[in-house]
Each structure stands twice: as C-alpha cells, then as structure tokens.
A = this chain, B = another copy of it.
C-alpha cells in the first residue's frame, strides 16, 4: 500500500475510463514529481469545467451559456435538424463543414442491455421542437452500430406521422480505405447505396 493520499489519488485516477490500475499508478507517480503549477492547472480546469459547462436548453449540446453557439447563430438553417447521440458527434460533424443546419443531442442511443430506453433519451424534447413546423428535414446521424440503428429505426417510426423529410447518413466505403478490407455489411451497403457515376 502507498502512503494514504497517494493511494487515494491512484484510486480516483483508476475510476477514469480507459485508465487501469497500472496506468493510474503511472499517472500518480508522474504527478508526484510534476511541477505543482501543472497539477494545480489540471485541478482548476476540472473544477472549471463542472462549474461552467452547461447543456444548451434547446439542443442539449455542451455550452457555456443557456443556449449553445450553434442555436444562437442566425446564419444556421433553422429548417434542417441533425439528430446525434452525443456532444462529440456534433464536433465531428462541425469539423466536416458540410452541415449548416442545427442539432439535437439525444444523450445516447437505445440499448436495452444498458437499461437505456427511449424515455432515457431526449426524444420528447425532439418532438416538442418539431411541433411548430419550422423544421422540414430531420437527418438521423446516430452511430452506424446496433444501438444507433435501433434508435434511428425507432425515431423513423415516431416521425412518420409528422410528414417531414427524414434521412439517414449514407453507409458505404470509408474514403481512403481499401475495398478488400471492408467488412461484408459495409461492402453490401456500398452496393445497395451506389450512385450514378456522373453525379
């Protein structure tokens, strides 16, 4: 056993995702020898992030204000809504600069095995946003895995009566990948979703 407070630090670090007992030990010893100013900066930013970061009251994106940057931006197209699972998906899509509409962050995907059903996601809030008719297209950008597909299927069924355009991100070969290394499902989808070559 380590000296009390060192063991406490190792225990706390070991609770972080992706940090095992050996990793926690390694980080703890690094911090023991680190410049106190560096450690203080890390502690400060931890407290700051919890104090400052809120969730946007409209789209549930991470925000430092009541409404996030994207919801406040009048240049964003209010008629197109992109539904994603998590905040990090918003960041990934923003990085492409392909999408000029707004977002709705569900806060996860339907996963019965983890006890996440539609009630745990922000689907009711999504339906409220769609009620006034401003939004005419909903892009379902959940992850292309089992949970994400289940969520998209569920939402498609929910949105059907609203007579909106509901789309799903294309599945296919990743750009820069090798055809021979693509799994069968991806390759099958790439065939099913093939487009005219002069598009």
On whether the beta carbons of A39 and B31 are closer than 8 Å, the reply is no
Q: Chain B residues near A16 (CB, 8 Å)? A: 27, 30-31
Which of A40-48, A145-153, A178-186 lines the interface with chain B? Answer: A40-48
On whether the beta carbons of A19 and B19 are closer than 8 Å, the reply is yes
Query: Cβ of A77 < 8 Å from any Cβ of B?
Result: no
> In chain B, what residue has the closest Cβ to A41?
B12
Q: Chain B residues near A25 (CB, 8 Å)? A: 88
User: 1/0 per residue A56-83: CB within 8 Å of B?
Assistant: 0000001110000100000000000000
Please report A residues at the B interface, Cβ cutoff 8 Å: 1-6, 8-9, 12-13, 15-19, 23, 25-32, 36, 38-50, 52-53, 62-64, 69, 86-88, 91
